[in-house]
Amino acid sequence: MITLKSKFISLSLILIMFSFSILNGMVDDWGRLSGGIENLFIFFGESLWPPDWSVLEPQNYPVCTTYPLFDFTCSTAWIGMTETIKIAFVSTIFGSIISLPISILAARNLSSLSLSYFARIVLAAARSLPSIIWAIFFVILVGFGPLSGVLAMTIYTVGYLGKLQYEAIEGMNNVPLESARSMGLSKIEIATGVVIPEMANSLISQMIFMFEYNVRHGTVIGIVGAGGIGYYINLYLKFLQYDKVISYLIIIFIVVLIIDFLSISARSYFNEEGDISKPSWWDLFIPKMKRVG
Amino acid sequence: MREDNVVAKVIGKPIVKLIDVEIGYKNGETLVKIPDLEIFPGEIVAIAGPSGVGKTTLLRTIAGLVRSISGTVEVCGRVVPHRPKRGKLGYIPQKLGLVRHASVMHNVMLGANAGQKKEIIHRNKYIQMFSNSVLSLFPSTKAKRKSRDAIEKMRLTDKIGEPIRRLSGGQQRRVATARTLAQEPALILADEFLSELDDETMETVLRGVVTYVKNNNAALLVVEHDVSRAKSMADRLLVIDDGRINPFITEVTMLEVKV
């Protein structure tokens, strides 16, 4: 008898073998792999390590206009990273404001078939290009700088967040909608009075997730000149100063880790259901220790 | 009270009128057949019967949420699929349909808003619809007062700002009733709205609804699986049995209502 487990194992084996055969068709020389590992050690030992932390020191350019409290706030790493976070923040806020009405139109349980397809096409179009392609597009339109970054990320946020939102709205409990509809409330009233309050927690949680996502992707869009820390990474890559690049990457890694952690804690604050008591805001930063004994 | 009813039946137009209605599933399987049913203003009608015979589906059909297989369903002077005028129909589903993350006041205000008359009239239907929707986002003081009254009637004044998810089952049921009372509908459809209530709460809810129905010449159609309770509150009891509705009038043993 063929058990479910053996079916699962054989299917996995088939998939893995199939993937290898496809890969084999694309790769002409497997010998390159051995050279790759050697190159990695040479590259890492000679060029990347140790990181050049001069990126945390104040530079002549960009010029520091204010008198900062700490010196490193005049460094390129600080300026680039804060710009990335600012771009991510602004585009998350604008993106979610624009995407909410579109996602309400796109949800099948709230609007007609034709309207929802139209809204879905709009969202899919915004989502179909990654934010870096949108960034290239807006750099051509409005020039280098954070403005094109904000525009690019806002459009991507509308597409991505809109999909998350309309799927959440479609999954909501149908009974409040039915009773509101039978009362004769208009669609705008149902959206503002029933759907948004009922879904508020998951909408906020998705917004925080989107901010975290935008910070991660905001580091990339600078490479095409749309502002943020990516601009400096691209600059030093061109000058082959890999030791500076690695220090930027370490900084990005740490910042993204912190934002991830804050985002998870903040989202758990909004995911609470029923009688579970809310954590205080302080607990988000310093988690409660388990009591011993 | 009985006398009033008879008069109302003679002079009033029926609020609900069902002619040769068949209710069932989409595949054509019939659950209930109703040859003729009329519900008049000021009347309380209860539907009883074992579970699964289609009591709730009948209620949802009248509420316009599901279509009947055949026949004519007329509610508040409009034939389904045309909906009754805004706020004419109040529906208390079995699962209540409250906005769980919003406050008691917010939920009751939804009903009061639905009961508000639309004020902007424009020759373009869409402009009228849109402007009235926008207008309804700003509730009038009258709607607020109505909501407060309804909340007070259901003895929930101390819970007015609490989110629904923090309330007990019985309190939530009272909020749903308050929402319908604030709406001031011509027809109330209630699905097992007295279940899981203690005696005192049940009396509060029932008195609130019955007083409203009798004072405002509204109609109440209530689904109740408990036949004795259905008999005790209704002017008429309809029993669904073997897929047919058997209307028979019971002796009226109304709850003592202080008006």
Q: Does the beta-carbon distance from A183 to B99 stay under 8 Å? A: no
Chain B residues whose CB is inside 8 A of the A275 CB are: 166
Which pLDDT band holds residue A164 (cuts at 50, 70, 90)?
A: very high
Tell me which residue in A176, A189, A193 faces B97 most closely, judged by beta carbons: A176
**Residue B140 domain flag:** no
CB under 8 Å to A111, separation ≥6 — which residues? Answer: A104, A105, A119, A187
CB-based contact A183 B91, cutoff 8 Å: yes
Question: Which residues on chain A are in Cβ contact (under 8 Å) with B106?
Answer: 193, 197
DSSP string for residues in B64-129 = TSS--SEEEEEETTEETTSPPSTTSEEEE-TT----TTSBHHHHHHHHHHHHSPP----SSHHHHH
Please list every residue in chain A whose beta carbon sits closer than 8 Å to the beta carbon of residue B132. Answer: 186
Q: How many domains does chain B have?
A: 1
Which residues of chain A neighbour B98 with C-beta distances below 8 Å? 176
Q: Assess if residue A18 is contained within a domain.
A: no
DSSP-derived secondary structure letter, B8: H
Q: Give the least confident one: A200-209, A277-286, B38-47.
A: A277-286
User: Which strand (E) or helix (H) includes residue B230?
Assistant: helix B227-233
Domain of B249? Answer: 1-83+220-259
* pLDDT band of A275, cuts 50, 70, 90: very low
Residue A275 lies in a domain: no
Please give the interface size between A and B, counted as residue pairs whose CB atoms are below 8 Å apart: 88
Tokens of B126: 């869409």
Residue B4, Cβ density class (10 Å: 0-12 exposed, 13-18 middle, ≥19 buried): exposed
Flag if B93 and A193 touch (Cβ within 8 Å): no
**Is A257 domain-assigned?**
no
Asked if residue A218 belongs to a domain, the reply is: yes
- The model's pLDDT over A47-89, given as tens digits with 9 standing for 90+, comes to 777 887 877 777 766 666 666 667 777 778 888 888 899 999 9
CA distance B3 to chain A (A): 31
Q: Is the pLDDT of residue B232 over 70?
A: yes
Quote the tokens at residue B94: 């079995």
* pLDDT (mean) for A238-264: 86
Would A198 be classed as within a structural domain? yes
Render pLDDT for A102-143 as a digit per residue (tens, 0 to 9).
999 999 988 889 999 999 999 999 999 888 898 999 999 998
Mutate to test the interface with B, among A186, A192, A194 (most CBs of B within 10 A): A186
Model confidence at B6, pLDDT cuts 50, 70, 90, reads very low
ipTM of the complex: 0.82
Are B98 and A176 an interchain contact pair (Cβ–Cβ within 8 Å)? yes
Residues B94, B173: Cα–Cα separation, whole Å: 9
Confidence grade of residue A165 (pLDDT, cut at 50, 70, 90): very high
Is residue A233 included in any domain, yes or no?
A: yes
Question: How many structural domains are present in chain A?
Answer: 1
Domain for residue A265, yes or no?
Answer: no
* Among A122, A130, A120, A118, CA closest to A156: A130
Cα distances from B208 to residues A45, B175, B182, in angstroms, run 82, 12, 11
pLDDT at residue B3 is higher than 60: no
- Quote the mean pLDDT of chain B: 80
| Residue A112 burial (C-beta neighbours within 10 Å; 0-12, 13-18, 19+) | exposed
Instruction: Confirm whether B175 is domain-assigned.
Output: no
The residue assigned the tokens 């890559």 is: A237
Q: What is the pTM for the complete model shown?
A: 0.77
pLDDT at B231 over 70: yes
- Chain B contact set for A194 (CB, 8 A): 99, 110
- Strand B219-223 relative to strand B89-92, pairing: unpaired
Range of weakest confidence among A38-47, A104-113, A208-217, A242-251 = A38-47
Query: Quick one: closest CA in B to A174, which residue?
Result: B97
pLDDT at B127 over 70: yes
Chain B residue closest in CA terms to A195: B99
Is residue B191 within 8 Å of B93, Cβ to Cβ? yes
Nearest by CB to B101, which of A175, A187, A198?
A198
Contacts of B137 in chain A (CB under 8 A): 188-189, 192
**β-strands B89-92, B78-79 pairing:** unpaired
Per-residue burial over B124-133, b if 16 or more Cβ lie within 10 Å, else e, is: eeeeebbbbb
Q: Which two tokens stand for residue B42?
A: 């000021």
Element (H, E) at B23: strand B16-24
Distance of CA A215 to the CA centre of its chain: 6
CB pair distance less than 8 Å for A176 and B99: yes
CATH of the domain at A90: 1.10.3720.10
Range of the domain at A203: 80-242
Are the beta carbons of B102 and A198 separated by less than 8 Å? yes
How many Cα atoms within 13 Å fall on the side-chain side of residue B53? 20
Q: How far, in Å, CA of A229 to CA of A248, rounded? A: 8
What is the average pLDDT across A96-107? Answer: 93
Given a contact cutoff of 8 angstroms between Cβ atoms, the answer to whether B237 and B244 are in contact is no
In this prediction, residue B181 carries a pLDDT of 92
Angstrom distance (rounded) from CA A87 to CA B209 = 55
Residue A263 has pLDDT above 90, yes or no: no
Q: Which of B59, B105, B132, B133 to mutate to test the interface with A (most CBs of A within 10 A)?
A: B133
Q: What SS3 string covers chain A?
A: CCCHHHHHHHHHHHHHHHHHHHHHHHCCCCCHHHHHHHHHHHHHHHHHCCCCHHHHCECCCCCCCCCCCCHHHHEHHHHHHHHHHHHHHHHHHHHHHHHHHHHHHHCCCCCCHHHHHHHHHHHHHHHHCCHHHHHHHHHHHHCCCHHHHHHHHHHHHHHHHHHHHHHHHHCCCHHHHHHHHHHCCCHHHHHHHHHHHHHHHHHHHHHHHHHHHHHHHHHHHHHHCCCCCHHHHHHHHHCCCHHHHHHHHHHHHHHHHHHHHHHHHHHHHHCCCCCCCCCCHHHHHCCCCCCCC
Residues in B touching A187 (Cβ below 8 Å): 133
Q: Tell me which chain B residues have a C-beta less than 8 angstroms from the C-beta of A184.
A: 83-89, 114
Q: Is the confidence at residue B258, as pLDDT, over 60? A: no
- Contact A179/B99, CB-based, under 8 Å? no
Domain of B42: which CATH number? 3.40.50.300
- Answer yes or no: do B110 and A187 touch at CB < 8 A: no
Distance CA A191, CA A199 (A): 10
pLDDT at B119: 67
Integer Cα distance of B46 and A176 in angstroms = 24
Tokens 């068949």, located at residue: B22
Q: Which of A55, A73, A84, A63 is nearest to A241 (CA)?
A: A55
B134: amino acid identity, one letter: V
SS3 B57: helix
Strand B244-248 relative to strand B236-241: parallel, antiparallel, unpaired? antiparallel
Nearest chain A alpha carbon to B190: A179
